[in-house]
Amino acid sequence: MAVNTRRPAERPPAPPRRRRLVYRLRVLRHDPTAALGLILLILLAYLVVAPLVAVLSDAFRLQYGDGVHAGQQPGEWTGYYLWRVFRSQISGLLFWEPLLNTLVIAVGTTLFALVVGGGTAWLVTRTNMPGRQWLAGALVVPYMLPSWTFSLAWLSLFKNERAGGQVGFLQAQGVRTPDWLAYGALPIIVTLGLHYYPFVLLLVGNALRRIDAQLEDSARILGAPQRTVIRRIVIPLMLPALSSAVLLVVGRVLGTFGTPYVLGLPADYRVLSTGLFQAIRDRSTGVASVLTTVIVAIGVLIVLADTRMMREHRRFVTVGGRGAMDRLGDLRRWRWPAFAFGLLAFAVSVVVPVLTLLLSTVTRTPLDLSTFTLDYWIAERLPGAVGFPHGVLRGSELWEAAWNSLRIVGLASLICAIAGLLIGYVVVRGTAPRVAAFLRQVSFLPYLIPGIAFAAASLSLFAVARGPLPALYGTTFLLILVMAVTHLPYSSRSGIAAMMQLGREPEEAAQIAGASWWQRMRRIIFPIQKGALVTGIVLPFVSGLKELSIVIMLTTTGTQLLTTLSIGLVDYGYTQLANAVVLMIALISFTMTYLTQRLTKSSLASGLGG
């Protein structure tokens, strides 16, 4: 019997390209960090960069309805909107006057914040003033309140008959309040200054604590007078913190909407943010795109200037002993007057506004307790009220707005926190430095852009159907998306910092034990980084709950939030009802901030008065 001795045909080896593909798929299954980084890169490019490109495109493409004026066809490239905003007969009304008003407000607010915030920071950190520790935390409270809380309180005190509706306390008592005191630049500067001085307090206060007092002592021993010590030592060492505080306040003022709208509209006092809102309301898309581009450019320049200054001031670095840095100046007989100044700042920025709003909601004549009533809270029917005919706790408007706020802001904060941690994971664990650099920079980009400008840019991209995506304007999804993106800088920085502090050993041990990537994330990364997750959820939640500049562009009747409900009541002239809604926002915001500090065992005033 013959035996077949031939060998079976050998299978030909797989092509090198196929082997590489199979190997990469196996690696990807065990460690999909590279794929995750690519997905995040595409998402951020579309959600952050694309809106800015879209709004820039709209500024140079002729919109429907403007062909008659421009002499071109819709969709063609044009410089018509640049001419209209910068050179036309109405350019003063559209741009130059609002720009000048914005600069006046920015300079005035910054000076106010520097005086109050810088003065209280010095008292809290460098003196033996009584009550330092309590004031260090109490003076940060104004930033927990919505920015237009102060403007509504101002109206409750100084409003005259020009704006319509019920007049303020002084006018009701027979004291004529002039327009310049009730509306316009002065009240906007004061109210914004009361809201933003905690920025200066925190930045300057922490910088003052880190200045080595031995430098000042040495200068005095050498015979330098106090003014020379301040001019040649303290101020140069404080320049980085002061420049950051100034630019931060200016950047915030540039994009704020609520206060200029409430206190500027009755006197037709326009700033860039209210001018942008009016252009969008008038469906002047091209003009709105030009204004948005200008605001974005100014915001980016402000942050670039801050970065440049920080590099220039790095030579002003001192390291000293802790005992020397914490030495306190003896105020002697000025200790209690200094405490009175700090207490006055707290009273004016917290107690007076909140108490004014509260009293206005329980009195028919502003702040006149003899006309006490709870109708604005619980009445089934308010005489003369049309758009909101009952107390705020009656009916469904407040509760629907509160549910929308909690639902939308809560989902946005959750998305924001998870995305921030994933960005931190890719930046720290990833092996592609270019992807990591892109994610780090682009995730921070929304911080450089004033909120109202980024909302306008997002509206330009998502208001109409583009490709497979339908038009999203007026949808809850768009609000959640934009809220998450605008607050991403906070959570991404928190996620990157948290991942840099976590070694690779726990994850490598789980990988050796056979755990998949998802199991490692679910059972190791997320539990270990729960503190960063909590911070990434709660801080955007607190900030988003009192956000107005972003949502005013994107909400419709069906997606009413607490902030837009309050502004709508202001438009109707129902001051007491608007004040009641703002108090509800402040209560929720303060409660969430307090819970955040308890959960994370941190404080907004960390480092002050310690």
Mean of pLDDT over the chain: 82
> What is the rounded distance in angstroms from the CA atom of residue 602 to the CA atom of residue 4?
82
pLDDT at residue 607, rounded to an integer: 43
> What is the rounded distance in angstroms from the CA atom of residue 313 to the CA atom of residue 316?
6
What average pLDDT does range 214-243 have in this prediction? 72
324-379 pLDDT per residue, tens: 445 666 777 888 888 999 899 999 999 999 999 999 999 888 777 888 999 999 98
**φ, ψ (nearest 5 deg) of residue 148:** -85, 5
For the chain, the distance separating the N- and C-terminal CA atoms, rounded to the nearest angstrom, is 99
3-state secondary structure of 61: strand
77 bridge partner residues:
61
Tokens of 475: 């949808």
HSE at residue 317, side-chain half, CA atoms within 13 A, is: 6
451-480 pLDDT per residue, tens: 888 888 888 888 777 777 788 888 889 899
Among the listed residues 56, 206, 153, the one whose alpha carbon sits nearest the alpha carbon of residue 586: 153
606: left (phi over 0), alpha (psi -120 to 50) or beta: beta
Q: Where are the beta strands (DSSP E) in 401-463?
A: none
pLDDT at residue 411, rounded to an integer: 93
pLDDT band at 408 (very low <50, low <70, confident <90, very high): very high
372 bridge partner residues:
363
82-100 pLDDT per residue, tens: 999 999 999 999 999 999 9
Among the listed residues 516, 523, 494, 519, the one whose alpha carbon sits nearest the alpha carbon of residue 427: 494
The DSSP result for 109-133, as a single string, is HHHHHHHHHHHHHHHHHHB--TTHH
The DSSP result for 562-579, as a single string, is HHHHHHHHHHHT-HHHHH
CB 457 within 8 A of CB 52: yes
Q: What percent of the chain has pLDDT over 90?
A: 22
CB 197 within 8 A of CB 117: yes
Q: What angle do CA 439, 443, 444 make, to 5 degrees?
A: 120
> What is the rounded distance in angstroms from the CA atom of residue 54 to the CA atom of residue 14?
47
- Burial letters 137-156, b for 16+ CB under 10 A, else e: bbbbbbbbbbbbbbbbbbbb
Helical axes 185-209 vs 97-126, angle rounded to 10°: 40
Element containing residue 286 per DSSP (H, E): helix 285-312
The DSSP result for 346-374, as a single string, is HIIIIIHHHHHHHHHTTBSSTT-GGGB--
202-220 pLDDT per residue, tens: 888 777 776 666 676 677 7
pLDDT band at 81 (very low <50, low <70, confident <90, very high): very high
CB 177 within 8 A of CB 168: yes
Q: Which of 3-17, 177-191, 292-306, 320-334 has the highest mean pLDDT?
A: 177-191
CB 130 within 8 A of CB 333: no
- Burial letters 76-113, b for 16+ CB under 10 A, else e: eebebbbebbeebeeeeebbebbbebbebbbebbbebb
- Kindly tell me if the per-residue pLDDT of 322 is higher than 50: no
Q: Which of 52-56, 358-362, 511-515 has the highest mean pLDDT?
A: 358-362
Least confident piece of the model among 166-170, 210-214, 282-286, 388-392 = 210-214
pLDDT at residue 472, rounded to an integer: 84
**φ, ψ (nearest 5 deg) of residue 18:** -65, -40
Cα 340 to chain centroid, rounded: 31
User: Residue 199 class from Cβ within 10 Å (0-12 exposed, 13-18 middle, 19+ buried)?
Assistant: buried
**φ, ψ (nearest 5 deg) of residue 372:** -60, 135
